[in-house]
Structure formats: structure tokens, C-alpha cells
């Protein structure tokens, strides 16, 4: 009897719990739905002078039609905020070093880094240099963002992530937009970590060993090398390698002359490679007013269109990757750590007091020291012992720059002369711009501030106490690399070397591996009667020229050493060198390549220093080339020769794959360990949020060296690739072809949240028109 009673009570309790859970889920669902963007009907927006029509097409791209530029940019701010308000707020907080205020102690180190790098301070200095027109655009845009924000707060309709973190966003300002722009310069324009690593290596290894860890050893600067040995700065344990941007935030772009196209007009293609996330770093829009008609993408939080086309021209970019960050070895005064030695005297640094607010914690008072060269980036403030030397950093992006002004003028340009003139204000980060116009012109310019150094070439830190080191200015705008209408009939870049030995100025020695460019050039050179469809197909190309160069010699070397890997080597020998999702060979080759630096250097240096090490596979590539040519280097010889190095690395690769997929290589597929993920920034907090916020994970082909870039982390998660794909046919600029994965909206309940994930994998582009009626959901923003 008691047992039956207990069971009855248990059933009642279970029913109550399930009811509470159901009620909670209904409440959460209702709350989340309340913040879905209104995309149909009418909304009153007080800041507008006239009504604005916003039509979101079938893929979620907003087409904004306004009677003036003032209302166009106000509406742009409003619409971006509808879809991306949380992303925008998180972006400005990260760049400003203000994440701890809403996340807590876990973000303190990130905030310290961005406070030290001084991005918001640099943005404030930049804002002072903007002309009245550009500053007015920033104000109009902020008015639109704030109009949405005020409305959402009043109606309790802010994105639910704000509720999840327990805060409301502050009003938007022009400075916020420029700070986000400076963050993109950080993400695309740095090599300070490489300098810190090389400094460490010179002090830890023999000269021969250190020499092999440089892409090009600076033989012409013995004084700089000696200074690095004489004035050692602590590197191990100082820098969080997780905060260093991906080594090659690369991209592909190309433009083809009408002489090689079916239409007789140019074709242009662009696919910038950045971290893949939900929502995308890009927001696609079409902006139309009596003054302009422009379409493409922009970073959420910024007005205008940074990449895309108007009615007469199209353009795209890749990252040049020049050496624009220099480290200086600074000597602090033992009696006053805010002073540093310069030309025999102690010079006072600028001291900026920063207070980092920490959610559920005490505020942290933090000082940023800035020498004549730039901020001190070594973590010296809270060390128990005074260091003998620290690093400061000089960086082009920390100076006043005018990128948004350039963007606004690019949007209204109608030919190459006007476009190139606009580029003069695009100063950081340096970008490879390709251009095409309806008049048949194709052009290219490596654009941005590239330093001219008094001494050295930016490969090593230099003494900060001497006037013999520093920058003399920048490569003159008229002497930056430029190509217009070349005989080859096309121009392409893929972060590859863009200048020859005859170019008089130093750009960098650290170019991307050449394989993407080689494949693009191979296809375009052979192509005739090319079409937009051919360009889209090339953007999805998975041919692996890296394997084509190295694999035969790697297989031969292992066969000399051992006969243990016949099954694996047979799979690799039969491979067509295409990184298809259903093949084992790409998985074996990529894992093998990834193991080569680990085999040589893991355990030879602290883990955090190893993470800072630049171009690991660049270096192992060169070591293999030399070893195959009969000239094994110091590291390879010490290991026991190239044959043993490659055999041991292959054994490690086999073990790693077998632990995940089983012993039978016949059951292995690239897609099993190469899966696409667009992670949401809050999804890492719990598996429940990850399941709710992250789009579906899908197997995907390609790799880090194919034209269709799909770069994966050691766990096989593809988190880096084409954040936007774009193709324009200059024969008809009334439309163009796009993919923005995972989708347009940042709202998890939106139809446009992850509707382009499959498109990203399969290469299914959508057409975005800029003329005529657009079918979709129409929202009229009413002027009050």
C-alpha cells in the first residue's frame, strides 16, 4: 500500500516538474520570439526625415531605399541593429577591452590586451581627422542604431543574449564604429608575436638552429641580432597565445579582363577568409538613395559597404600582410618604471589609467604605458620584480587613419581614377584591392601604410634606446604596387608574394604559402570565354597543389626508412590530390603535415612559446625542400634525418586518426575529421547553449591550402574560411552572386539565422539585384 502511494506521489512530482519545465520553455520561447526583428508592416522611427522602404529578400538580405543619404545611413544603423545588436555590442566591447563588465573574470586578460593595444584610443584620435561629411555619416548611423535600441528596451525586445548575460547595451556612438574598424586592423595586420618568438629563439638556441626558424634570416643586420641577445625580454609565460589572431587571415581575389570572358566584359571574384562564426562577421546589404546605389558587405556596427559593387564598378580585397608592427626593446628606469632610456636619458612615458570593471568582482585598476614608439605590451605592471627590458610596439593602426572615409568614397566611385583616389584614405590594414569597371578596366593596388625603416626589415625587435632605429615614414602612395590592364588578361592575389626583388621597399618576408594563388593562376591562364559560373566553380576548387609538390618525395623518404606504412602510402599514391570529403587521403596527408613541426619542436620550447611560433609549416616546408635536395638542416640532422622525421610523424598521424576512427584506414574519410562549425559566441558556456545556438555541423571538403579554404583546428573543426563569397559580372551589374555563411540574422529564431550553411558547403550562390523590384518581406520605416 505504501509502495503504491509512493509511486503515485512520484508521478505527481514528476508531473509538476515536467509542467514547470514546459512552462519555463514556453516562457523562454515567448521571450526569445519577442525579440525577433520586425521585417514586415510599418514601424515609426523618430530620427527619419522621410519614410524608408526595407525589403528583405528570400535569403534575408535587406534592400534599403531612402530619399536621402541621411535617412539611408540612419536606416542602415536601424536594420543592422535589428539583426545584429548583440554582435555589435560584443564587438565594440571586445575591441575596447570592456568584456569583463558583462562576462566576468574570465575576460580580464582579454580586456588587458585590448586596453594595452589601445584600439579605442586610436579610434578616438582617428575620429578627430575625419572630414565633416564622413563624421556626419557616423552620426546618422548611430542615430539609427540608437532608435532601434531605445525601442527594443521600451518593448522588452532586446536580443535574448542580453538577458542571458544580465545587462542592457549602452547608446551607440561614432567612436564605437571606428573602434570596431580598428579591431579588424588588429585581426588582419599584425606580426608582433612572430617578433617576440624570434627574440626568444635567438636567446635559447644555437645560431644555426635559430636561423632555420626564420623565414628569411636577417644576415644584413648583425647589430640588431646582437641587441636581441644582449637585452633579453622575458617571453615565456608573458603572452596568451589564444589572443593572437590566426596566422593567415587570408583571402582570394581575382579579376579577369573582357578579353578572356564570354561576355567581353570583366569578371571579379572575392572571398575573404576569416574566422567562421554565428552570426557571420559580414552583413550583406543593398543601399540605395538618389546619391548612390551600392551592394555588398560591411562589418556589423559600421556604415557603408566595404566590399561589393555599385552600378559601374566592383571591387574586392585580400590581406597584404605587410610588416606593420615593430617591437622595441625598451630599458625601464629601475627607480621609475614609467621612464625609459632614449639617447642616454630617461624619457617619461605616457601613463594612461584604465579601470576594468568586472562582473561579480572588484574593479581592476590598470596602467597602460606608451613610449615614443608605442604601448608597452610586456606584462610589467603586476610583476614582483622589475624587468631589465620590455617590449613596446609601434603599429600603423595605432595612428589616426581614415578607412571609413575611404569606404564612403569608394561606394560612390564610378571609375578607376575615382576609386584609386578614395584608396588614399584606406591606411590600415593594408589590403590587396582588385577592381573592375564597366568600361573594361581591371586593376590592382596593394594599398595601405607600409613603414620605411631606418635600420632593419622588421623581422626582429630593435633597440628602443637609440635614434638609429624607427620609421622614416611610409611607402609613398604613388609607389605602392599597382597593376592596370595587364597583358596576361587577369590579376589574382591569395596573400602570396606580390612584388619581385626589384621592388625598392620592404613589405614582408612572411607571405602565405603559394598554392592557392598557383591554382587560381593555373585555371585563369588556361581559361577562355570565362563566365560567372566558372568563377564560382573556381572559388569552390579543392585541388591540393601542396600535396602535389611534396607528397611524392615524402612517400619515397618513408619507403627508404620503413615498410610499416604500405597501406597508408598506397592510399596516398592513388589519390587524385583533390581534398574531397569522402576520401581518406586528404585526412592522412593533412594530419601528417600537421605532425611535422610537432615532431621536431614540441618539448624543445615552452608550450606558450611554441604557440607563438610563426609559420610552422612554412619552416618545415623549407626544411623538407632542402633535405630532399641533399642539404638537411640542423634540426632535421639532429632528429636523425628526413626519412626518420617523416616516418615518425606519419606514425603519430596514423595513431591519432586510428584513435578517432578505428584501425582500418579503408573506413576513414576526410569529412569524418573535417567538419564545418559556425560557433555562436555564447555557445561555449554550456552544451545546451551550443546545441541551441550553433548551426548544424556538416562534413566539408577543401583544406587550408585549397582555393576553397576550409581550415580546421587540431580537433578537425573547420572554423576558418570564406566568410563571404562574391562574384560580379561587369556585363550586368544590376545583380551579383553571394554566399554569407551561416546567414544574415543573429536571431536564433529567424529564418535567416543558418539558411546558408548548406549553400556554403555546396557552393550554391544567391543572386542579389540592385535594380527593379525585389521580392520578399517589406518593412516601411515611417518618419514621425
Question: Quick one: pLDDT at residue 5?
Answer: 44
What residues contact residue 610 under an 8 Å CB cut-off, 6+ apart? 601, 602
CB atoms within 10 A of CB 470: 18
Query: Could you report the average pLDDT of every consecutive run of 10 residues in the chain (784 residues)?
Result: 44 44 50 89 97 98 98 98 98 96 94 94 97 98 98 95 94 98 86 90 92 76 79 81 66 97 98 96 98 98 98 97 94 94 97 96 94 87 66 95 98 98 97 98 97 92 95 97 98 94 91 94 97 98 98 97 94 98 98 96 90 90 96 95 98 97 95 96 87 95 96 93 97 98 96 98 98 96 94
Q: Which three cell numbers stand for residue 43?
A: 514601424
Distance CA 287, CA 773 (A): 14
CB 416 within 8 A of CB 441: yes
- Cis (ω within 30 of 0) for the bond into 279? yes
DSSP H helices, 98-236, are 100-103, 108-117, 119-127, 132-154, 160-165, 174-188, 192-204, 207-211, 222-230
What are the Cα distances from residue 37, in Å, to 489, 663, 695, 702?
A: 46, 50, 19, 35
Q: Which three cell numbers stand for residue 237?
A: 609565460
Annotated binding site for Ca(2+): 323, 326
CB 718 within 8 A of CB 742: no
Q: Which three cell numbers stand for residue 17?
A: 516538474
| Cα–chain center distance at 54 | 29
Distance CA 687, CA 673 (A): 20
* Closest residue by Cα to residue 586 from 556, 553, 540, 547: 547
Domain ranges of the chain: 1-34, 251-323+402-453+477-539
Question: Quick one: pLDDT at residue 384?
Answer: 45
Its CATH class, for the domain covering 251-323+402-453+477-539, is: alpha beta
**What 3-state class would DSSP assign to 455?**
coil
Partner residues linked to 490 by β-bridges: 256
Question: Quick one: pLDDT at residue 509?
Answer: 85
Question: Quick one: pLDDT at residue 430?
Answer: 94
Helices 585-601 and 545-561, axial angle in degrees (round to 10): 70
Question: Quick one: pLDDT at residue 191?
Answer: 82
Question: Quick one: pLDDT at residue 602?
Answer: 86
Q: Which three cell numbers stand for residue 502?
A: 626589384
Question: Quick one: pLDDT at residue 249?
Answer: 55
Annotated binding site: 323, 326
Question: Quick one: pLDDT at residue 221?
Answer: 66
**What 3-state class would DSSP assign to 464?**
coil
Question: Quick one: pLDDT at residue 27?
Answer: 46
What does 513-547 look like in DSSP terms, one character per residue? PTHHHHHHHHHHHH--SB-HHHHHHHHT--B-HHH
Q: Which three cell numbers stand for residue 581?
A: 570529403
Active-site residue list = 251
Place of cell 585541388: 543
Helices 192-204 and 222-230, axial angle in degrees (round to 10): 70
Distance CA 359, CA 103 (A): 6
Helix (H) or strand (E) run with residue 396 in it: none
Distance CA 380, CA 238 (A): 9
What residues contact residue 584 under an 8 Å CB cut-off, 6+ apart? 571, 665, 666, 668, 669, 670
Amino acid at each position: 500500500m505504501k509502495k503504491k502511494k509512493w509511486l503515485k506521489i512520484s508521478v505527481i512530482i514528476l508531473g509538476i516538474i515536467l509542467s514547470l519545465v514546459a512552462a519555463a520553455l514556453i516562457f523562454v520561447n515567448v521571450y526569445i520570439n519577442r525579440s525577433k526583428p520586425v521585417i514586415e508592416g510599418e514601424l515609426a522611427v523618430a530620427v527619419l526625415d522621410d519614410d524608408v522602404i526595407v525589403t528583405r529578400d528570400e535569403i534575408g538580405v535587406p534592400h534599403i531605399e531612402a530619399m536621402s543619404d541621411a535617412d539611408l545611413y540612419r536606416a542602415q544603423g536601424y536594420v543592422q541593429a535589428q539583426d545584429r545588436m548583440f554582435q555589435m555590442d560584443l564587438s565594440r566591447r571586445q575591441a575596447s577591452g570592456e568584456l569583463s563588465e558583462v562576462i566576468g573574470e574570465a575576460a580580464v586578460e582579454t580586456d588587458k590586451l585590448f586596453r594595452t593595444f589601445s584600439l579605442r584610443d586610436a579610434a578616438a584620435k582617428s575620429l578627430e581627422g575625419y572630414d565633416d561629411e564622413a563624421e556626419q555619416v557616423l552620426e546618422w548611423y548611430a542615430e539609427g542604431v540608437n532608435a532601434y535600441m531605445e525601442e527594443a528596451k521600451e518593448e522588452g525586445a532586446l536580443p535574448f543574449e542580453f538577458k542571458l548575460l544580465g545587462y542592457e547595451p549602452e547608446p551607440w556612438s561614432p567612436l564605437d564604429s571606428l573602434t570596431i574598424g580598428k579591431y579588424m586592423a588588429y585581426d588582419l595586420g599584425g606580426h608582433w608575436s612572430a617578433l617576440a618568438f624570434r627574440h626568444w629563439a635567438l636567446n635559447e638556441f644555437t645560431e644555426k638552429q635559430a636561423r632555420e626558424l626564420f623565414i628569411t634570416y636577417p644576415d644584413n643586420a648583425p647589430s640588431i641580432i646582437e641587441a636581441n641577445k644582449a637585452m633579453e625580454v622575458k617571453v615565456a609565460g608573458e603572452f596568451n597565445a589564444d589572443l593572437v589572431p590566426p596566422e593567415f587571415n587570408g583571402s582570394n581575389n581575382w579579376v579577369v579582363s573582357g578579353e578572356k570572358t564570354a561576355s567581353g566584359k570583366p569578371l571579379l571574384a572575392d572571398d575573404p577568409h576569416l574566422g567562421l562564426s554565428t552570426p557571420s562577421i559580414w552583413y550583406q546589404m543593398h543601399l540605395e538613395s538618389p546619391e548612390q546605389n551600392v551592394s555588398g558587405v560591411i562589418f556589423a556596427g559600421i556604415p557603408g559597404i566595404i566590399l561589393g559593387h555599385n552600378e559601374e564598378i566592383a571591387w574586392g580585397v585580400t590581406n597584404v600582410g605587410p610588416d606593420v608592427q615593430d617591437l622595441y626593446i625598451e630599458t625601464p628606469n629601475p627607480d621609475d618604471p614609467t621612464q625609459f632610456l632614449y639617447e642616454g636619458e630617461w624619457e617619461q612615458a605616457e601613463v594612461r589609467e584604465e579601470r576594468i570593471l568586472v562582473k561579480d568582482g572588484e574593479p581592476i585598476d590598470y596602467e597602460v604605458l606608451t613610449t615614443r614608439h608605442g604601448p608597452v605590451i610586456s606584462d610589467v605592471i603586476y610583476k614582483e620584480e622589475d624587468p631589465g627590458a620590455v617590449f613596446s610596439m609601434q603599429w600603423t593602426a595605432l595612428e589616426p587613419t581614415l578607412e571609413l572615409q575611404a569606404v564612403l568614397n569608394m561606394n560612390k566611385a564610378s571609375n578607376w581614377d575615382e576609386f584609386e583616389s578614395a584608396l588614399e584614405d584606406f591606411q590600415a590594414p593594408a589590403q590587396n584591392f582588385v577592381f573592375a569597371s564597366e568600361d573594361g578596366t581591371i586593376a590592382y593596388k596593394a594599398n595601405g601604410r607600409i613603414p620605411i625603416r631606418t635600420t632593419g626589415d622588421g623581422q626582429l625587435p630593435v633597440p628602443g634606446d637609440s635614434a638609429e632605429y624607427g620609421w622614416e615614414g611610409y611607402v609613398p602612395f604613388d609607389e605602392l604596387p599597382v597593376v592596370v590592364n595587364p597583358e596576361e588578361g587577369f590579376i589574382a592575389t591569395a596573400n602570396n608574394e606580390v612584388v619581385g626583388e626589384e621592388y625598392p621597399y620592404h613589405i614582408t618576408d612572411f607571405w602565405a604559402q603559394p598554392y592557392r594563388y598557383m591554382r587560381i593562376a593555373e585555371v585563369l591562364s588556361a581559361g577562355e570565354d570565362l563566365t560567372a559560373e566558372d568563377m564560382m566553380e573556381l572559388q569552390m576548387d579543392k585541388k591540393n597543389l601542396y600535396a602535389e609538390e611534396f607528397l611524392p618525395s615524402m612517400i619515397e623518404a618513408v619507403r627508404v626508412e620503413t615498410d610499416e606504412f604500405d597501406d597508408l602510402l598506397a592510399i596516398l599514391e592513388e589519390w587524385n590530390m583533390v581534398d574531397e570529403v569522402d576520401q581518406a587521403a586528404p585526412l592522412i596527408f593533412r594530419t601528417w603535415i600537421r605532425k611535422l613541426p610537432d615532431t621536431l619542436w614540441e618539448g624543445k620550447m615552452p608550450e606558450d612559446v611554441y604557440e607563438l611560433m610563426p609559420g610552422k609549416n612554412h619552416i618545415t616546408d623549407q626544411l623538407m625542400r632542402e633535405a630532399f635536395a641533399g642539404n638537411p638542416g640542423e634540426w632535421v640532422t639532429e632528429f636523425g634525418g628526413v626519412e626518420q622525421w617523416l616516418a615518425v610523424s606519419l606514425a603519430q598521424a596514423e595513431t591519432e586518426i586510428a584513435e578517432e576512427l578505428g584501425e582500418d584506414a579503408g573506413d576513414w574519410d576526410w569529412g569524418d575529421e573535417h567538419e564545418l562549425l559556425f560557433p555562436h559566441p555564447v555557445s561555449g558556456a554550456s552544451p545546451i547553449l551550443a546545441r541551441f545556438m550553433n548551426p548544424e555541423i556538416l562534413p566539408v571538403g577543401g583544406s587550408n591550402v585549397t582555393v576553397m579554404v576550409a581550415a580546421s583546428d587540431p580537433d578537425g573543426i573547420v572554423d576558418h574560411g570564406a566568410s563571404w563569397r562574391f562574384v560580379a559580372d561587369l556585363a550586368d551589374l544590376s545583380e551579383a552572386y553571394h554566399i554569407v555563411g551561416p546567414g544574415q540574422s543573429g536571431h536564433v529564431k529567424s529564418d535567416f539565422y543558418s539558411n546558408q550553411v548548406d549553400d556554403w558547403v555546396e557552393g550554391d550562390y544567391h543572386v542579389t539585384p540592385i535594380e527593379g523590384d525585389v521580392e520578399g518581406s517589406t518593412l516601411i520605416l515611417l518618419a514621425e
